[in-house]
């Protein structure tokens, strides 16, 4: 499985992610329909073991604190009390998964946050990690950029990277002044582009 977390790409991984040295998350493909399966232990701010999901099914989940929703394209695990995504993943190609978002606690109660730009305290037990590919790649050509901007502005359908063919992710920029802009990124080649949402 090729697993991407934040801006890092992990190759030949076995799908197991350790947090501060302890296995906390495991991703695998289902035998029957190749569905992405998540196994994850959830801890509270004090480190208590508060829920466990095993292959997309709850082993325990007191008061339905967490909600899991999965489909062929990925999954979202949400903390219903805090209305916050605990872990989000997208399938971006054959045997490729991107962890798009994460906010949860380690077994020792450390807060772990994963964004598309950053991760902290996360390692995987696979063979190698490599840094983000961003600096080496030449940007999209003006023609490619114009075509991506048009497609993104016109519809919410997924738009493919002209270089890799994999679906581009889009994320609204957080600052108030730039709310009408999307950051459109290809997680395979690392190219990205700012697109005006209304144009």
Query: Which lies closer to Zn ion via its Cβ, residue 42 or residue 159?
Result: 159
DSSP state, 8?
A: E
The sheet with strand 181-185 has its strands ordered as 169-172, 181-185, 192-196
User: With binding defined as CB under 5 A, does residue 65 bind Zn ion?
Assistant: no
User: With binding defined as CB under 5 A, does residue 189 bind Zn ion?
Assistant: yes
Query: Which lies closer to Zn ion via its Cβ, residue 46 or residue 138?
Result: 138
Closest CA to 194 of 175, 176, 177, 172: 172
User: With binding defined as CB under 5 A, does residue 170 bind Zn ion?
Assistant: no
Q: Report CA dihedral (152, 102, 3, 124) to the nearest 10 degrees.
A: 160
- Binning the chain into helix, strand and coil, the percentages to the nearest 5 are 10, 50, 40
User: With binding defined as CB under 5 A, does residue 163 bind Zn ion?
Assistant: yes
User: With binding defined as CB under 5 A, does residue 173 bind Zn ion?
Assistant: no
| Per-residue mark of binding to Zn ion, 84-113 (x: CB under 5 A) | ------------------------------
- Of 85, 145, 164, 183, which one interacts with Zn ion (CB under 5 A)? 164
Residue that is written with structure tokens 């798009």 in the block: 100
Element (H, E) at 6: none
Residue ranges in the chain assigned as alpha helix (H): 142-154
User: With binding defined as CB under 5 A, does residue 145 bind Zn ion?
Assistant: no
Q: Which stretch binds Zn ion (CB under 5 A): 7-15, 51-59, 66-74, 181-189?
A: 181-189
User: How far apart are CB 165 and Zn ion at their closest, in Å?
Assistant: 8
Residues contributing to the site for Zn ion (CB under 5 A): 161, 163-164, 186, 188-189
């Amino acid at each position: 499985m090729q697993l991407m977390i934040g801006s890092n790409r992990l190759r030949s991984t076995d799908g197991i992610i350790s947090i501060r040295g302890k296995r906390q998350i495991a991703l695998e493909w289902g035998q029957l329909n190749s569905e992405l399966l998540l196994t994850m232990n959830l801890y509270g701010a004090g480190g208590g073991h508060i829920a466990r999901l095993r292959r997309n099914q709850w082993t325990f989940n007191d008061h339905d604190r967490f909600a899991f929703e999965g489909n062929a394209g990925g999954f979202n695990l949400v903390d219903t009390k805090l209305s916050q995504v605990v872990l989000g993943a997208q399938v971006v190609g054959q045997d490729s998964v991107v962890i798009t978002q994460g906010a949860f606690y380690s077994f020792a109660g450390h807060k772990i946050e994963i964004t598309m730009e950053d991760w902290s305290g996360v390692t995987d037990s696979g063979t190698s990690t490599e840094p983000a590919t961003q600096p080496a790649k030449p940007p999209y050509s003006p023609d490619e950029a114009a075509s991506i901007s048009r497609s993104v502005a016109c519809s919410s359908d997924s738009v493919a990277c002209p270089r890799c063919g994999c679906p581009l992710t889009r994320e609204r920029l957080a600052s108030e002044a730039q709310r009408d802009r999307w950051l459109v990124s290809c997680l395979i080649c690392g190219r990205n582009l700012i697109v005006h949402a209304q144009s």
